[in-house]
Amino acid sequence: MATSLPTHPRSGRNRPVTDPRAAALAMLDRVDRGKTTLDALLDDAAPMLAKLSRRDRALFNGLVYGVLRWRLRLDAVVAAYADRPLKKISPPILNILRIALFQILFMDRIPASAAVNTAVDLVRTRKAAKAAGFVNALLRNALREPGRFSIPDAQDSPVDHIAVAHAVPRWLASRWIRRMGLAQTDRLCAAINAIPPITLRCNRLKNELAELADALSDQAEAIEYVESIPGGANLIRPRRPIPEMQAFIDGRFSVQDGAAQLVSLMLSPRPGETVLDACAGLGGKTTHLAQIMGNRGAIVAMDSAEAKLTRLEDEARRLGVTIIRTRQADLNRPLPAGTLPRFDRILVDAPCSGLGVLRRNPDAKWSSQPADILRSAKRQARFLDHLAPLVKTNGVLVFAVCSMEPEENEDVIKTFLKKHANFAITGAPSIEEKTVLPFLGEDGFFRTAPHIDQMDGFFAARLARTR
């Protein structure tokens, strides 16, 4: 039974895993090392997981994401029954306890006895006989005496209540309670821990949404249109991995959250225009912009990571997009003069704390720190300063982040507008009212939130260069 994933999963020495719990333990151990994101680790380990059956892969995913969503809550349960402080429990043993308790507390279909027995088996594969006894005793005590654990009272200790009840870091619980109050924080945290929908973006270069829904009708339990997003739909309980679906292979759709789709609609590029996607990443918004433009015009996709741009080019080919060219650049420094033209529209989907997408990236709960927010805001301000000269007069710049924190949102834009008097917040007369306008506040800023809109938490501002 494998208990660790090799550092280089594509080397010939690696063997595919066949036990979903052992694979989940190995993945959680790697996440704890904090060197890379869960998404990157899952991509890296894909060949290792290929031998898991569909059912076992679902269990693997459920355990990994479930433990990361509920880690602080699970640790509070461990602390209530352990005979030693958490810091005295080795990280792999603590992860074994988390996996077992997640099954006991949150997974109805797995008998408690099976969760305990498989946890002890995982410990024994580590050749830790004493730890096996500790794990067995703790889990059985938790089953016999559930009353020893309780969630702190919301009125007596609101921060501890939110932190334990919803498994969010105390610093984040405190920050959100101060800003939005206990009730709204409770709703937000509950939404963050809910499994998010699989939202699709129909590629209208190849088909319409009704055609796509027909093509996917036997690939999932249901297809539900998202009324607030043109071409958006939720895929309900897919029956096979999305990359294996023929409609995906043929480039008929992409997977993209609704809030991210709305950001591209907010930029509202027109056919024939020149557009810069300044922080293109893997190209989700880049390819959407090309689709909005009817694949007519020119888009420069810029990012500091060459590997991401290579994947973006592959994605553009899958979708049949031909108007994108890529450029590697680091926006922390001014762009060399004369190397880029001025653009009709620029999208700055800036790097941020990512606190608006915790429901999709639960590992970020535990890697994020308060200092990340201000550090990100300073970087965002640099990016905007370096990009402002590239906007044509009467051109449009949209700044967007997947964060709901004010320092990364309106504070960044207000500071930018003080420094750049030739820019102003603008309405969007070319945007259909049924799409973006309902998400714009009286201040002209775009905001979405998981507990209000059933989308990721995004902020965006649409700025026009006036001279």
- The DSSP secondary-structure symbol of 440 reads B
* Size (the chain), residues: 467
- Among all chains, which residue has been given the structure tokens 């349960």? 77
- The token duo for 141 is 């005590």
Contact between 293 and 271 under an 8 Å Cβ cutoff? The reply is yes
Give the separation between CA 459 and CA 441, rounded to whole angstroms. 11
- The token duo for 462 is 């649409």
Q: Is 352 a catalytic residue?
A: no
Give the ranges where 388-438 is alpha helix by DSSP (H). Answer: 410-419
Give the separation between CA 60 and CA 20, rounded to whole angstroms. 5
258 DSSP β-pair partners: none
Of the candidates 189, 202, 279, 402, the residue annotated as catalytic is: 402
Query: Cα separations (Å) of 53 from 9, 15, 17, 60, 243?
Result: 19, 15, 11, 10, 16
Q: At how many degrees (to 10) do helices 91-106 and 54-69 cross?
A: 100
- In 126-231 the beta strands, taken as DSSP E runs, fall at 198-202, 220-225
How are the residues of the chain apportioned to helix, strand and coil, as percentages rounded to the nearest 5? 50, 15, 35
Positions marked catalytic: 402
